[in-house]
Every structure is written in C-alpha cells, then in structure tokens.
Structure 1
Amino acid sequence: AVAGNTMTSSTEARNKTLWIVRTFMERIRRQGGADGEVIPWGPTVYPTRTKDAANSGQHPQIDCFPFPSPTLHFSLLPTISKETDVPHFDVFNGDADGICALHQLRLADPRESTLITGAKRDINLLRRVQAQAGDTVTVLDISLDKNRDDLGRLLDAGVRVDYFDHHFAGEIPDSPNLTATIDTAGDVCTGLLVNRFLKSAFLPWAVTALFGDNLHDAARTAAEPLNLDASQLQQLETLGTLLNYNGYGSKLEDLYFAPDDLYRKIKPYADPFDFIASDKTFEALHNGFESDMNRASSIAPVLETEHCAVFSFPDESFSRRVSGVYSNQLARDNPHRAHALASLLPSGEYLVSVRAPLDTKTGADELCRKFPTGGGRQAAAGINELPADQFQAFLDAIQEQFR
C-alpha cells in the first residue's frame, strides 16, 4: 500500500518498489509466515537502494542473507522491462540444467512468461518464439549455434535476448539487443553461470544442476560454502540425476513429466530439500529411474576397448529415458574411457549419447559434430538421428577420437 500510494509520480519507481515488496512478501510466504523463521539456504530479502543507483536509473539492489553464507548481493536481470506488460519468453532446455537455471532466475525475478521447452534433445527452440519489437526473451542451456538463424531473426526484429549457455556457440552475433553469457569450459553448466550472475543467491539449485550434468567434482566444490553434510549432498546429487533423467526421450511421451510441467512443480520451492521432502514428483522419478537403470545394466556393449565402449539399446521408451543418466554412470565407473549409448528409434535411426572420459572432459562434441544432427559440449554430446547405415562409421569414429 505504501509503495502504491507514495510512488505514483513515477511509474518506473513504483514498479520497481512494488517488485521489491512483492519479492519480500513472497520470501516470507515461503518461510511459512511472518514470524521470521528462516529456511536454510533460502534468502531473506531486505530491499536497499543507493542514492547513486536511483539517480542513474539502475535496477534496485537486493541484499541476500542466505544462511549460513555471509551477505551476498545480486542485481536483477539487465533486460528487466520498465513496463510490467511487456511480453516475455523463457526458453530453456528440458533437462536438470535448464530447469535449475530458470528456477534460479525466477526466484530472483518472478515474472509472467511464456514457457518454451521440450525433451533434452529438442534444442531448436527459438524457432517457436514469435516475439515482436520490445519483447524480451531469456534463453537457457541450448546451443546458440543450433539456434543461430532464429536468434538473428529475433534480434533483427528488435527483441531483447539474454542468453546463458555452455554449449558450442560458434560466432556470437554482434547486436545491441543480445546479452550473451557463454562459457564452454568442461566443468561449467548453465545453472552455474546463472548462479554466478546472481552471486550465489540460490546456490543449492546450481549444485543440483551441476550434479545433473554429471559434473560431480564441480558440484562438490560449488557446495562447499553451504556446509552440507554427506546426506544432504547426496540428496542434491540424486535430485539432479532425476531431473536430468526426466529430460531424455525422442518425444515428450517418453518422459514421466513434460519439462514445463516439471518446472512448475519445482517453482514454489526456494529450497530443494523442501521439494524433495514435500512433492511426490521426486518419488515418482526415483522409482522410474531405478527400474530403467536395472534394465540398462543387463545390456552388454557392442564395442569395448581400453579407450571406449559403445552400447546398443532396443527401441523402447526406457532406452531413450535412460540414455543420458546411464552414460553418466558408465563415465563415472570408468573415468579413463569414453562411452556411447545408441538407442534404436522407431524410424530405424539411433539416438546417441556420448560421454568423453571424465579424466579429460573433451572430445565428445567434436565427435558428434562429424554426423548430421550431432552436437553438444566437450564433456557430453549426442546425435539425435544417426542413420543405421552410419552406425559402423560411428564405431570407427569413436575409436579414432579416443585412442
């Protein structure tokens, strides 16, 4: 009420103040009431704004006091609109990394948006964005290179785009409408890039994203400020694995939950431990994961050498669901060796997941880009539709790549 009655002389100031008040009240709601009970690792928000920031027109600063970390500071997204009715699109990969990246951003900056996502391999998502001049788009965890034409279309139309990603990007367009945060290092994921942007405001979700992308060493390093015990760290590892597991499939029907629905289930929870304890989604994914992994472990490799191993899975939904997480497990069990899992598709082609040796975390993307529909990142990549008559060529190529 104070914000609404005292700031009416300036629409911009009023909107910013309302956002701060709304965010503050939302944090109180998530903490179970106005009695000040603090959720571990969930930020309690106190609004501050310096005179210099107010005069310069910068967005407000939020002081976060995540228990048990020291005071942290983060700014709102640089493309936050000054008008609340500007259409916004959130475009994100349907795996653990994409979901956790978006969740962090929307915890920091709640806003209404059109969600655009799909199964993990459905990465040409910008073609589904029909935006106009002045609209804003946030893109998370999909290759810029694979979306180059549609990104150019949006930028040329006057759409402002924030892009966070860790996949191969190629040449980044030079446009005043684009803000790109891209890091292709082998120990980085998009959730970690967003975490850096938000100055660790929601660090447990970034740790979850790292585990989901099979970056276990990086996840444990990132988690150190949280002072988690072994059981808590294991819970985040399991959550990341399950969220990633849910993203794999050649079509949405292969998945237990559509990725946009899974994000909506997570959305109310600032604390991942609350989600694990309170939402039945976690249990449903865990049961499906255990069943699929037991079936996968019974399948022998079609190629096995000192440096690589390849598995061929049948045309069944479990094969496509388990392809990524089982490849990750194989990589952890044999860190000196590269692995590929080829799942037969109804079309007769193969859906291929490739993991570089964990000791090097390089070469997977280079191998997959040798084939049509192939791509990814250095440590983990894939081929969406490998023709059956190129399967032997793939076996030869993986042995050549990793030797």
Structure 2
Amino acid sequence: MHFDVFNGDADGIIALLQLRLASPKEAKLITGVKRDISLLQQVDENTATSVTALDISMEKNADALTSLLNHDIDVFYVDHHRAGNIPESDKLHAIIDTDANTCTSLLVNRYLNGKYVYWAIAAAFGDNMKASATALAQQYSLSESQQGQLEELGIYINYNGYGRSVADLHYHPADLYKALLDYPDPFLLVNQPDSIFAKLKAAYHQDMALAAKSEVLAEQEKVKAVLLADEAWARRVSGVFGNELANQSPDKAHAVLTRNSDNSFTVSLRAPLNNKQGAGDICAAFPTGGGRAAAAGINALPEQMLGEFITAVAKYYT
C-alpha cells in the first residue's frame, strides 16, 4: 500500500494535488490541521510499501522516517522546513530546500517541469510567498486579474487548514484535496458558481471581519502581537490574519495568539516580509515551537513566557 502524507494547508494539499494529477495513484491519505506535522508516525509499517511525504518538517519526523527506511520502505520527501540531519539511504528520495522564498508546491512544480504551474502559483500565494508567486505568474504571462484569482484561491485553501482540530475546519484537508482533483485547471474552480472556492471565500471574509476587532497585546517598532478569542473562527484565521498583517507592515514581525483551554497560547509568528529570517529559530527556543525562517509557530506557549517571547521577537529584529 502507498501512503500520501501531507500538511493540511494550501502548500501541502496543492503539492500532493500536482503530483497526483501528473501521476494518479491509489493511496492511504494521512493529513490533519496545519499544525499537525508529526504525521509519518501514523504510517502503518506492516502494510506500507512506499510513502510520499509533503510539507512536513523532516526534523520533526526524524524517528518515524528512520524507522520507515529501516523497514525498506521507499520514501519520496519534499519540503521547505527545517530538515535536521537528512538520512543517507537508497530508499529515500529527498527534495529539501529551506530558502525563505520557496515552498513545497514550488519545489514540486520544478520537479514536474511546470505541468500544473497555475496550482503551484496558487499555493505560493497561499503560503504568503507573494513575490515568488508573482514572479512565476509573470513568467507565464498571467494578467493581474488572473493573479488575483489564484491569490484568493491559495489564501482560502490555506485558511481552511488552521484550527485546534479538524472540527474547527470547514473541510477536512483530505476531503478538500480529493475535491480539488476534479480541477486540473484552478480557474475552472474559481469561476464555478457555488463552488468550494465561493464557500470558503464567504467564510474567510466573515472570520477576518471579526479578527480585525481583536485586542492588540503589544505594538513596538519591530513587533506587533494580537490576541484572538478562544473560538473556532479565531483559530481558523490565526495564520491568514498574520499574513495579512505582515503584508500591511512588511518591516515588522507579527505574532497572532489564541488562548488555549489550559491558559497557554497558540502562536503564529511571521517574520517581517522585508527580512524573512529567524521566525523558526525564535519559536524553536520555546516549548512546542518550530517552523521555518519566514513563518513559524508555538503550539502551547506558557502564559508566564508571553513577555519573554515578545521581547525575544523584538530583540531579534531590532
């Protein structure tokens, strides 16, 4: 049995979408909310013959990956997050690039020689790789209107991936992926009345209107921290709201926090768009934290460490 393991955000879903549009394959799907990245351990080593892993940190899945390779299971791994030590094995085909201006879908696009480039552009927009997405779109002579449509699509698919659990989401990421397989051309989806695109668009704008009224915990020259309510809508917009704030003030780092039931905070951190480095290192210094240079997060920041976290962000970018 083949297993497709992928992050439930726009980048993970669309990376797999491109691969399976190009090479359809029966597979067991393993995914979850965006922050659920320790996914390789869910692969059944007794039935797996091969695995594709997309947009999940190799560093966070190191033990499970080593076990799969030791069981002679072929693994195709594409990602742009912190990788740690990449195992040396003839069973592993790894495409890893941690450059702050790329994402997994762009790496898959390169691997497929641009076969589904419009989808890759949508994914890059969704992962807030706006400059990279725009540059690629211009290579293919897409109009500003077409770029805007792909940007919206990527943002809405990405928005759907955020939540404490899949119960917070509008669509389970596996179901969303399977529905998107019907659209080799993303513009067919965008222009279809009453489509998934239209439904996510309406929900996104409703949630973002609530987010705009949220409490500002701290605002300094180099950092802004915003607290969202402990409600499903807030958990859904925690990442995309951070992206919007980052685009509005590209010289400032932005932290969007939501309170957990144990009074800790889930944190979504965006590095300044004009200085896309350090977010992963900052978050990794705190319990349950990690990510990549441009965008990272902490699953459960203890309340007593909130001030320390904001100070660390401000110090790093000053």
**Aligned residue number for residue 95 of structure 1:** 9
Find the residue that maps to 1:301 and give its secondary structure: strand
**Aligned residue number for residue 27 of structure 2:** 113
Q: Match for 1:378 among 290, 293, 296? A: 293
**Aligned residue number for residue 271 of structure 1:** 185
**Aligned residue number for residue 82 of structure 2:** 168
Offset of 1:111 from its aligned partner?
0.8
Paired AA for residue 212 in structure 1? G
**Aligned residue number for residue 198 of structure 1:** 112
**Aligned residue number for residue 203 of structure 2:** 288
Could you give the per-residue CA deviations for residues 123-156 of structure 1, whole angstroms, max 9, x where no partner exists?
0000100134870100000000000000011000
**Mind listing any 5+ residue stretches in structure 1 that lack a counterpart?**
1-86
**Aligned residue number for residue 141 of structure 1:** 55
Q: Alpha carbon RMSD of aligned pairs, Å? A: 1.1
Find the residue that maps to 1:200 and give its secondary structure: coil
Is 1:344 aligned to residue 259 of structure 2?
yes
Would the aligned equivalents of 1:162 and 1:180 in 2 still touch at CA under 8 Å? yes
Q: Match for 2:151 among 202, 212, 237? A: 237
| Equivalent-residue separation in structure 2 for 1:396 and 1:326 (angstroms) | 21
Q: Match for 2:270 among 355, 362, 379? A: 355
| Equivalent-residue separation in structure 2 for 1:149 and 1:99 (angstroms) | 24
Find the residue that maps to 2:298 and give its secondary structure: strand
| Equivalent-residue separation in structure 2 for 1:225 and 1:391 (angstroms) | 43
**Aligned residue number for residue 45 of structure 2:** 131
Find the residue that maps to 1:368 and give its secondary structure: helix
| Equivalent-residue separation in structure 1 for 2:163 and 2:264 (angstroms) | 14
Is 1:393 aligned to residue 308 of structure 2?
yes
Q: Indicate how the Cα distance of structure 1 residues 293 and 136 shifts in structure 2: closer, same or farther if over 3 A, else same.
A: same
Paired AA for residue 114 in structure 1? K
Would the aligned equivalents of 1:132 and 1:159 in 2 still touch at CA under 8 Å? no
| Equivalent-residue separation in structure 2 for 1:392 and 1:356 (angstroms) | 18
Find the residue that maps to 2:191 and give its secondary structure: helix
**Mind listing any 5+ residue stretches in structure 2 that lack a counterpart?**
none
Paired AA for residue 243 in structure 1? I
**Aligned residue number for residue 222 of structure 2:** 307
| Equivalent-residue separation in structure 1 for 2:243 and 2:273 (angstroms) | 10
- Structure 1 stretches (4+) deviating beyond 6 angstroms? none
Could you give the per-residue CA deviations for residues 195-254 of structure 1, whole angstroms, max 9, x where no partner exists?
000000110011011001101110011112321111111000000000000000111111
Would the aligned equivalents of 1:133 and 1:159 in 2 still touch at CA under 8 Å? no
**Aligned residue number for residue 65 of structure 2:** 151
Would the aligned equivalents of 2:53 and 2:77 in 1 still touch at CA under 8 Å? yes
| Equivalent-residue separation in structure 1 for 2:179 and 2:263 (angstroms) | 35
Paired AA for residue 336 in structure 1? D
Would the aligned equivalents of 1:132 and 1:158 in 2 still touch at CA under 8 Å? no
Could you give the per-residue CA deviations for residues 91-131 of structure 1, whole angstroms, max 9, x where no partner exists?
00000000110000001100110000000000000010013
Aligned length: 317
Would the aligned equivalents of 1:189 and 1:213 in 2 still touch at CA under 8 Å? yes
Q: Match for 2:124 among 210, 219, 230? A: 210
Would the aligned equivalents of 1:134 and 1:158 in 2 still touch at CA under 8 Å? no
Find the residue that maps to 1:336 and give its secondary structure: coil
Q: Percent sequence identity over matched residues? A: 47
Higher RCO (CA-CA < 8 Å; seq separation 6+): 2
| Equivalent-residue separation in structure 1 for 2:260 and 2:82 (angstroms) | 26
